[in-house]
A and B are shown apart, each in its own frame.
Chain A
Amino acid sequence: MPTDFRLPDLGEGVTEGQVVRLLVAEGDQVTEDQPLLEVETDKVSVEIPSPHTGVVAKLHVVEKQVINVGAVMVTFAEDFSTPAAAVEPKPKAAATAPAAARSADGPADTGVTVARTVAGRTKPASPAVRKLARQLGADLQTIEGSGPGGRVLRQDVERAAAAPSPQAVPDQWGPTRREPMTRARRTIAQVMARSASTIPHVTDTDDADVTDLDRLRREYHGRKLTILTFVVRATAMALQEHPLFNARFDAETGDIIYHEYISIAIGVHTERGLIAPVIRNVDTLTIPQIADELEALAEKARRATLAVNDTRGGTFTISNAGAMGGSRYSTPIINHPQSAVLSLGRTRLQPWVVKGKIVPRSILPLSLSFDHRLIDGANEVVFMQAIIGLLQDPAELG
């Protein structure tokens, strides 16, 4: 009996994931813990390690396929059935009935050729489900059945139909191409649409003269730090003084919910899109500690090993847009359900008027969007100036 390996429970209420990459092929010999494939859930991608040492007889998934927890991903040629299963006695064929159970001749039942065994060539599915698949335009043969014996169920078809497959779709003016979004992109799309449509955004822009800070950060207690490190620190301090910016609006009740902690999400761009891992209790961290946290997050983001929890529980967001290119100001979208977001432009030398003289200074452009339901422009100006003040006088940052 070959052994099936199913998508394990990934925790955090995650019920499905998308196959990003297959790391083995049918016929491969794999060792225990060797990564078999990479699966992406809401915002995290995980490598699924092999539970056994053995031969991959069949891969049941393809890249880009969305699969449910519990769906068979890989079949091993070998029998790894657990002792618990082996305890079940295998009754002998009843001696009373003149019966014969035999395997067909032919090459199909050795373990290694199991992959070639085609179950009647068609996917098992009831006539009603087949009809549904036609109506929804889903190709039954490509749907992974979650029922017994791989039977395709109604919900399998509905799920498959919800994820359109790549295909050329001409419109009135010329050819177009349809492609499914990655899971991560779909999540971003949903979150952004919700933020933009439910939160009345106002954005203000200003500049901080970070000439002194820029000098300081290059040799901070023997360590070179990023401007971002200090912005995080300054923001945490400003949030302590201006708790509205660390609050959220409960539209159901009309209440303002103040967070008694300060956890800042850092928006970073990765290959898989925008993600915002969180530094917790920033107000209790020293500048070097913040720097350590930022480095750790960057490393995790690069390796795509962030856990779902790493992106949850932020109370304010800083987006380091400047690190991604040359932008000065932007109109950042608030990370729902927070009340404000700060976006950093790129620091550069600018002609600046200091004490009546034009001098070159390092200028950091800042853009701040806030939820106008609970914050007014007057509050915002004070908050922005508090941050700018701290950045321009780094001694204050401690």
Chain B
Amino acid sequence: MVVGEFTREVDTVVIGGGPGGCSAALRAAELGVETVIVDRLDTLGGNALHHGCIGLKTMLRVVEVIRVADAASALGVKFTRPSIDVAHLHRAAGERIERQAAELDRLCRERSIEVIPGAARFEGPRQLVIADGPTRRFHFRKAVIATGARPLPPPGGPSKSPRILDWRGALELKEIPKTMLVIGGGPVGVELASVYAALGSEVTLVTQEERILAAADPDLVRPLAARLDELLAEVRPASCVTGLNEKAEGVEVRFQNDGGTARRVFDRVLAVAGSKANTDGLDTAKARIELNENGAIRVDQQQQTSNPRVYAIGDVTGEPYLVEKARHQGRVAAEVIAGGDSVFDARALPRVVFTDPPIAWCGITEQEARNVGIGHLVTTVCGDGSPSGAGMGSSGPMTKLIVDPETKRLLGVGLAGPGAAQLIAVAALALEMGAVAEDLAGTVLPYPAMSEPLGEAARQVDR
């Protein structure tokens, strides 16, 4: 230790100022716990705000507007072809991000939460150092790790290339590339692929899995898969990328599947297939914090790690990567630190793919029920399938209910089609409340609205 350096005593340190870390700090402060946030960015909001969610959601909004305008022609309303100013779009997204970051900053200041820039690292079970900048040491009573996850580089590629991007770069492209490869068939990959296709790129989507969105119910994915077949240049399921070569005309990509190998050249490659918990720089071993086999931090239901002083929340604890999961876990950790007995016991965890058509589900899926051997009954009601663009009539998403055959309790809800992203909130509430189908069937829903198939499905279970 350098002479003259002093160690500061703090009650609770939150490492990482993303949605998880911020909500932990805000809740802790609300409960009267002295809290500081350390983040290596000089702004709050984390990945969700600065490198993903908001940027992508803004672009998806553009895609939606284009489609709604298109669909309006059915009602006799015609628009001219849209022109897209990408720089303007980025600026708009940037402003939105700024505003939200400023709001987080204000909330923290209001509650006297100090925000310290720098990368934190453990020096012992209750010691922390902030490495960059003037070194500072902390002695904490409690710590919350909320450092999120980061993208893994694609296999077999050059370590740095302006043409090969992860999700951080994918949302900052200055112009729409002519051809693009998206590596990764998860929600982010599918969303990015459909954004750039709608904006005019020839997009190829490749995934190692047998199909895109492998975690989702195949019945729900089918309408989207059909749409992507029209929209994208190509979808390559069950394929590996084995090599990336930077050339003058673009990136040459080698694919391999059961059928053999193939080579193609793309202007840009977006690699969003894998990510990893941000634990590397933390020196978790020094604080006796155990990781699981995927390198994520192991926690119990109260978000406590193997070091009883230290909690971990959000993406750094593993999949699924969801903003609201991180926030809830943050509040649980804060309440436990303040002496409460909270646990994270969410049963619904809504998942949404913001594509066109959108897909949403919560609770268990039919495959999960079958794999685990949970008795279940499935009822499916198709929406009328017409695009919601015109905002007319009673179209709604295809709705799939998974219920317990004995009690008719809802175990899972899946939606595919217009309104899915919003409607899944109703389903999540029903699941958390332990509702039986009759509860949903007995609820008067609005008309005309996207909720109609949901009510109809519940009534069918009830019969």
A→B interface (CB under 8 Å): 2, 90-91, 93-94, 97-106, 108-109, 114, 116-127, 130-131, 134-135, 147-152
Closest CB in chain A relative to B364 CB, distance in Å: 7
Number of interchain pairs (Cβ within 8 Å)? 112
Instruction: Say yes or no for B460: interface residue by CB 8 A criterion.
Output: yes
Question: In the docked arrangement, what's the CA distance between A101 and B370, Å?
Answer: 16
Pairwise interchain contact A2-B374, C-beta atoms closer than 8 A: no
**Given A105-B370, A108-B376, A91–B463 Cβ distance below 8 Å?**
yes
Pairwise interchain contact B407-A119, C-beta atoms closer than 8 A: yes
Pairwise interchain contact B438-A120, C-beta atoms closer than 8 A: no
* Secondary structure call for the A interface: loop
Specify which of A94, A120, A123, A124 lies most central, judged by the most chain B CB atoms within 10 Å of its CB: A120
Pairwise interchain contact A120-B432, C-beta atoms closer than 8 A: no
Question: In the docked arrangement, what's the CA distance between A100 and B377, Å?
Answer: 11
Pairwise interchain contact B405-A109, C-beta atoms closer than 8 A: yes
Interface string of B185-222 (1 = CB under 8 A from A): 00000000000000000000000000000000000000
Contacts of A126 in B (CB 8 A): 432-434
Contacts of A123 in B (CB 8 A): 434
Pairwise interchain contact B375-A98, C-beta atoms closer than 8 A: no
Closest CB in chain A relative to B372 CB, distance in Å: 8
Pairwise interchain contact B375-A109, C-beta atoms closer than 8 A: yes
Instruction: Say yes or no for B244: interface residue by CB 8 A criterion.
Output: no
Closest CB in chain B relative to A70 CB, distance in Å: 16
Contacts of A127 in B (CB 8 A): 345, 432-433
Closest CB in chain B relative to A60 CB, distance in Å: 12
A-B contact pairs, 6 of them (CB 8 A): A94-B456, A99-B379, A108-B373, A119-B411, A149-B404, A149-B434
Contacts of A125 in B (CB 8 A): 434
Pairwise interchain contact A100-B370, C-beta atoms closer than 8 A: no
Question: In the docked arrangement, what's the CA distance between A127 and B344, Å?
Answer: 10
**Given A122-B347, A124-B434, A99–B374 Cβ distance below 8 Å?**
no
For B436, give the chain A residue with the smallest CB separation.
A149
Pairwise interchain contact A134-B404, C-beta atoms closer than 8 A: no
Contacts of A121 in B (CB 8 A): 374
Contacts of B432 in A (CB 8 A): 126-127
Contacts of B282 in A (CB 8 A): none
Question: In the docked arrangement, what's the CA distance between A147 and B347, Å?
Answer: 19
Specify which of A101, A106, A118, A130 lies most central, judged by the most chain B CB atoms within 10 Å of its CB: A101
Pairwise interchain contact A120-B364, C-beta atoms closer than 8 A: yes
Closest CB in chain A relative to B153 CB, distance in Å: 38
B→A interface (CB under 8 Å): 341-343, 345, 347, 363-364, 366, 369-370, 373-382, 404-409, 411, 432-434, 436, 438-439, 456-457, 460-461, 463
Other-chain contact of A97, B341, B381, B406, B433 (Cβ < 8 Å): B381
For B364, give the chain A residue with the smallest CB separation.
A120
Contacts of B364 in A (CB 8 A): 120
Q: What 5 A-B pairs have minimum CB-CB distances, sorted nearest first?
A: A124-B434, A108-B375, A117-B375, A149-B407, A149-B436
Other-chain contact of A148, B341, B382, B439 (Cβ < 8 Å): B439
Contacts of A149 in B (CB 8 A): 404, 407-409, 434, 436
Pairwise interchain contact B409-A102, C-beta atoms closer than 8 A: no
Other-chain contact of A106, B347, B373, B379, B382 (Cβ < 8 Å): B373
**Given A93-B463, A149-B436, A104–B406 Cβ distance below 8 Å?**
no
Pairwise interchain contact A119-B377, C-beta atoms closer than 8 A: no
Pairwise interchain contact B409-A124, C-beta atoms closer than 8 A: yes
For B377, give the chain A residue with the smallest CB separation.
A103
Contacts of A2 in B (CB 8 A): 406
Closest CB in chain A relative to B445 CB, distance in Å: 15
Pairwise interchain contact B341-A120, C-beta atoms closer than 8 A: no
Given contacts A108-B376, A134-B341, A151-B434, 20 further A-B contacts (CB under 8 A): A94-B456, A94-B460, A97-B382, A101-B463, A102-B377, A104-B370, A104-B378, A105-B370, A106-B375, A108-B374, A117-B375, A118-B375, A120-B374, A120-B409, A148-B407, A148-B436, A149-B404, A149-B407, A149-B434, A149-B436
Closest CB in chain A relative to B383 CB, distance in Å: 10
Contacts of B408 in A (CB 8 A): 149
For A120, give the chain B residue with the smallest CB separation.
B411
Question: In the docked arrangement, what's the CA distance between A230 and B44, Å?
Answer: 90
Question: In the docked arrangement, what's the CA distance between A104 and B372, Å?
Answer: 13
**Given A101-B461, A120-B364, A148–B381 Cβ distance below 8 Å?**
no
Closest CB in chain B relative to A89 CB, distance in Å: 10
Pairwise interchain contact B434-A104, C-beta atoms closer than 8 A: no
Question: In the docked arrangement, what's the CA distance between A134 and B376, Å?
Answer: 29
**Given A100-B380, A101-B377, A119-B406, A90–B463 Cβ distance below 8 Å?**
yes
Closest CB in chain A relative to B427 CB, distance in Å: 14
Closest CB in chain A relative to B338 CB, distance in Å: 14
Contacts of B342 in A (CB 8 A): 131, 134
Question: In the docked arrangement, what's the CA distance between A148 and B345, Å?
Answer: 21
Question: In the docked arrangement, what's the CA distance between A138 and B376, Å?
Answer: 28
Pairwise interchain contact A99-B341, C-beta atoms closer than 8 A: no
Contacts of B461 in A (CB 8 A): 101
Contacts of B373 in A (CB 8 A): 106, 108
For B404, give the chain A residue with the smallest CB separation.
A119
Question: In the docked arrangement, what's the CA distance between A104 and B460, Å?
Answer: 16
Pairwise interchain contact B406-A117, C-beta atoms closer than 8 A: yes
Pairwise interchain contact A148-B438, C-beta atoms closer than 8 A: yes
Question: In the docked arrangement, what's the CA distance between A118 and B345, Å?
Answer: 18
Closest CB in chain A relative to B37 CB, distance in Å: 27
